[in-house]
Structure 1
Amino acid sequence: MTITESAESYEAEGSGTGTDGRARVPLDTCEAFAELLPQTRRALLRRLAVGQAEGRAPSMVGAVVRGGRAVWTGARSSVEGEVPHADVQYRIGSITKTFIAVMVLRLRDEGLLQLADPVGRHLEDTPVPHATVAQLLSHSSGLAAETRGPWWERTSGELRPEPADLFDARPQRLPAGRRHHYSNPGYALLGALVERLRGGTPWYEALRREVLAPLGMGRTTLHPQMPHAGGWAVHPWADAMLPEPAQDTGLMGPAGQLWSTLEDLCRWAGFLLRGDERVLSATSLAEMRTPAVPPEAGGWDAGFGLGLQLARRAGRTLVGHTGSMPGFLAALWTDTEEDVAGIVLANCTSGPDVPAVAADLAGIVAEHEPRIPEPWRPLPGPLDPELLALTGPWYWGAKPHVLRLRAERGLELAPLSRSGRASRFRAEEDGTWTGLDGYYAGETLRVVRDRDGAVSHLDLGTFVFTRGPYEPSDPVPGGVDPEGWRV
């Protein structure tokens, strides 16, 4: 019995040379962990080992990404002398959905669709023509969770050759837009949407050209390529194993078809943390991380953005996705505050809590070696004196705020007290600013000048900010008592 199917043999430590001629780094040797402290490396390896042993996984591989690249990788295996390296493919299941979501956001940024568009505007004969693209991305379209017919993950896609074959007579279980209801067929529709707006190019080919190739993810494929792990089921009451089938799911591919490697997913985690203008901007990625639907009752520790799962764990916000297919489990979590990600892959249908292990890997690094801030640096010049003159104290009524200048002519408004509304603003070509977060997200900030051209006040969604607290001469809505302040 073997854990992996490969054209090469593995050393006990997982070292050697791969089929592409590249040297393979052992997954549990110090060379792979050179940037982390020894106690951190041991804690990471122990967490992975506990996850594999207690979960009875045939094999489990894990990685931590920080600063945009892998700083630790590790592996455990149930077969002596066969420890998979970071270029062994595993099936990643629903992590595939994160790739589809990025493709849809690319279409939006190119102006080919709007997230508020009803999907029926772009796809004919869809069962939910009035559901929006954003609702499909965030699993709030109300579509059924699974396809009709036999279990799609374990049967051939040839059983569902047409889009209509994915749905039964009642495709929509809940009203669109009211609540979160995970839908695998919804992502089949999004894959079809990508193909439609890419002129009939299959979704994976568009993904490979536009996303995978620029990011150097040549080992993320639609079908397994050697070396790859074999998928197994582990008996619940005995230490015995049964091989699982690896079906081509056809039209359901956008919901969970992809195979990938630890190396490639480290690149993907780095992209999800920092963005890459060749693929998708950091602003659009931040939009994907924003909660799009309210959590279920009692589920305030979890949510969903646009194609990304959100979770709260030990006071930290994690963003990413989990995945499962027969024979495989996967999880990828990012923590943008700490600029760290944890990734875990296992080749078993059930058993180990892979999402928890991946979250713990990221948490161990964040706890043992907290992020060191980037050095302070001045803004790139030249400095606009008019913008500089806008900075400093401003008052909404009697509440003091401070306006700071940021990169690319951006602004940040924050209260000087512990409570209040803070937002960052993006500069627009017309001389205004648009709120990026907080209460003022999407609102317009304007600088209002008097007849002489001097700055009179700031207008933020009709809120007036002045240089003094309720000065009689200021244009405060409703006016100011002419007697002024008194004791």
Structure 2
Amino acid sequence: MDALSEDLELLPATRRALRHRIAVAQSEGRAPSVVAAVVRGGEVVWEGSRTSVEGQRPDGNVQYRIGSITKTFTAVLVMRLRDEGLLGLGDPLEKHLPGTGAAEVTVGQLLAHTSGLAAETPGEWWERTPAALRPRLSDVLGQEPFRHEPGMRFHYSNPGYTLLGSLVEAVRGKSWEEALRAEVLEPLGMDRTTVLPQAPHAGGWAVHPWADVIMPEPMEDLGLMAPAGQLWSTTRDLARFAVFLARGDERVLSAETVREMRTSAAPLEPGIAEFGYGLGMQLVDSGGRRLVGHSGSLPGFVAGLWLSEADDAAAVVLANCTSGLPATTVAADLVGIVAAAEPRFPEPWRPFREADPVALELCGPWYWGTAAHVVRLTADGQLELGPVGVSGRAARFRAEPDGGWTGLSGYFAGETLRAVRRPDGSVSNLDLGSFVFTREPYDAQAPVPGGVDPQGWRGIG
């Protein structure tokens, strides 16, 4: 992914629009430097940067601090433990990490920021003070760690991700850093993502809000808080990570698991998370486009990583200023520029080489009462059920060995769809969470709940 792909190379007008956007961002945001990359089709298709220092233009190999994008890496480590059967998202923290003072919260609540824990640590601002001030988890949580009842609302919590890092260490028997390196960074080829900075790296700066002067920010090692915001990375490494978050990688997490991470797991919180929050991933709306990823900031640095699954596009923006340049907004804008200027070509339609005859039998129109629905068989062998002509409860279903189909999305996620057969083997109806779908509206030959009027359909009078 280091070289630009000729097949995916953007048009000159699109490239100019991208350059212009980061030029405006650097100028108006008064950032010492900004570096960006755009990914499409799994490849870096554009890189750009702007700087205030002559002859020192950063590129995709220069490290910047990425702040809370670190949380997504920590979430990946936890989801690996889940997929290996070493813990469950519904497990209380106490089961794997006893004695924290937050025993009742679950692993899933910590990932989705619904644990009710405080947003920050007690005492001094943890991002600008030595980790030695917080040597134990009790120092991170304090005597009153909760602000809300666990599970009741979304409340972003940095200490919550410290607990997740400690959970990884407890279950793996190794440090968070060692686990991250071996299980995520090395398999994905992210050799420029590190816990401590490695040259070449940018320095972090505070820019005076009312004067064009700057001051260096301290670069503290966050200690126990590292899983919430420690990492340094580059746009090229984060481009690889964006591809992974979109497609999965069997060496790290499956496509199904990263899709689960991209699905909202927290209640909506207007103004904070327009689509809720997934498992270590933010879900936002940008110009009507659904984006997933994460923002990041630490004193001296801001960062944004966003991807649009529908547009097969992602963007990374890193800058070395404490505030001023909205890296997350700029990254979202870069995705929007590419998606609008060069819409994604759909994959060519191809017929199945060999379709499942049982699945084919279920395709076509069905009726829940009088509401028309249709079942389609998708190219990946799943069933797709949705209403006809109106919005409503749509879902995809995965085939199971017992002949049933498990819901993967929407209202019917986790529910079982089954074909009910007549004595002769033909399909009578579909049963889905007690809903009966029939081939005709209120089919008298099917087990419609409440029965069907014996006089059938008729006019008035």
| TM-score (norm. length: structure 1) | 0.90
Match of 1:4 in 2: none
Task: Indicate the SS of the match to 1:102.
Answer: helix
How many angstroms apart in 2 are the aligned matches of 1:364 and 1:33? 19
Paired residues, number:
459
- Amino acid in structure 2 at the alignment position of 1:148: P
Alignment equivalent of 1:363, drawn from 309, 325, 336: 336
How many angstroms apart in 2 are the aligned matches of 1:385 and 1:31? 40
Measured after TM superposition, the shift of residue 347 of structure 1 is 0.8
Q: Using a 3 Å threshold, how does the CA distance of structure 1 residues 410 and 237 change in structure 2: closer, same or farther?
A: same
Match of 2:260 in 1: 287
Measured after TM superposition, the shift of residue 302 of structure 1 is 5.4
Measured after TM superposition, the shift of residue 248 of structure 1 is 1.0
Q: Using a 3 Å threshold, how does the CA distance of structure 1 residues 299 and 423 change in structure 2: closer, same or farther?
A: same
Match of 1:308 in 2: 281
Match of 1:385 in 2: 357
Q: Is the aligned partner of 1:374 residue 2:347?
A: yes
Measured after TM superposition, the shift of residue 385 of structure 1 is 2.2
Contact kept in structure 2, 1:379 and 1:406, CA below 8 Å: no
How many angstroms apart in 2 are the aligned matches of 1:376 and 1:408? 13
Q: Using a 3 Å threshold, how does the CA distance of structure 1 residues 167 and 401 change in structure 2: closer, same or farther?
A: closer
Match of 2:221 in 1: 248
How many angstroms apart in 1 are the aligned matches of 2:8 and 2:83? 39
Task: Indicate the SS of the match to 1:83.
Answer: coil
Measured after TM superposition, the shift of residue 484 of structure 1 is 1.6
How many angstroms apart in 2 are the aligned matches of 1:107 and 1:380? 36
Q: Is the aligned partner of 1:214 residue 2:211?
A: no
- Amino acid in structure 1 at the alignment position of 2:401: E
Alignment equivalent of 1:455, drawn from 420, 424, 427: 427
How many angstroms apart in 1 are the aligned matches of 2:339 and 2:440? 43
**Could you give the per-residue CA deviations for residues 426-469 of structure 1, whole angstroms, max 9, x where no partner exists?**
11121110111122111100111122322221111111112222
Measured after TM superposition, the shift of residue 478 of structure 1 is 1.5
**Could you give the per-residue CA deviations for residues 17-48 of structure 1, whole angstroms, max 9, x where no partner exists?**
xxxxx9x97xxxx9999711111111100000
Match of 1:11 in 2: none
How many angstroms apart in 2 are the aligned matches of 1:172 and 1:386? 51
Q: Which stretch of the first structure deviates more once superposed, 367-376 or 412-421?
A: 412-421
Q: Is the aligned partner of 1:273 residue 2:246?
A: yes
Contact kept in structure 2, 1:471 and 1:484, CA below 8 Å: no
Contact kept in structure 1, 2:67 and 2:228, CA below 8 Å: yes
Q: Using a 3 Å threshold, how does the CA distance of structure 1 residues 59 and 419 change in structure 2: closer, same or farther?
A: closer
- Amino acid in structure 1 at the alignment position of 2:95: R
Contact kept in structure 2, 1:412 and 1:422, CA below 8 Å: yes
Contact kept in structure 1, 2:264 and 2:275, CA below 8 Å: no
Measured after TM superposition, the shift of residue 148 of structure 1 is 2.1
Measured after TM superposition, the shift of residue 227 of structure 1 is 0.9
How many angstroms apart in 2 are the aligned matches of 1:192 and 1:395? 51
Identity %: 64
Alignment equivalent of 2:138, drawn from 150, 164, 170: 164
Q: Using a 3 Å threshold, how does the CA distance of structure 1 residues 222 and 467 change in structure 2: closer, same or farther?
A: same
Q: Using a 3 Å threshold, how does the CA distance of structure 1 residues 300 and 348 change in structure 2: closer, same or farther?
A: closer
Q: What are the within-5 Å matches in structure 2 for residues 50-199 of structure 1?
A: 50-198=24-172
Match of 1:337 in 2: 310
Match of 1:16 in 2: none
Q: Which stretch of the first structure deviates more once superposed, 51-60 or 280-289?
A: 280-289
Contact kept in structure 2, 1:153 and 1:325, CA below 8 Å: yes
How many angstroms apart in 2 are the aligned matches of 1:126 and 1:61? 40
Contact kept in structure 2, 1:33 and 1:72, CA below 8 Å: no
Contact kept in structure 2, 1:33 and 1:71, CA below 8 Å: no
How many angstroms apart in 2 are the aligned matches of 1:97 and 1:33? 34
Contact kept in structure 2, 1:142 and 1:179, CA below 8 Å: yes
How many angstroms apart in 1 are the aligned matches of 2:196 and 2:271? 39
Task: Indicate the SS of the match to 1:144.
Answer: coil
Q: Which stretch of the first structure deviates more once superposed, 41-50 or 458-467?
A: 458-467
What residue ranges of structure 1 are gaps of 5+ in the alignment? 1-21
| TM-score (norm. length: structure 2) | 0.95
Alignment equivalent of 1:431, drawn from 391, 394, 403: 403
**Could you give the per-residue CA deviations for residues 342-390 of structure 1, whole angstroms, max 9, x where no partner exists?**
2100011111111111110111111111111111122343x33232222
- Amino acid in structure 2 at the alignment position of 1:159: L
Contact kept in structure 1, 2:360 and 2:377, CA below 8 Å: yes
Contact kept in structure 2, 1:408 and 1:427, CA below 8 Å: no
Q: Using a 3 Å threshold, how does the CA distance of structure 1 residues 47 and 410 change in structure 2: closer, same or farther?
A: same
Match of 1:17 in 2: none
Task: Indicate the SS of the match to 1:304.
Answer: coil
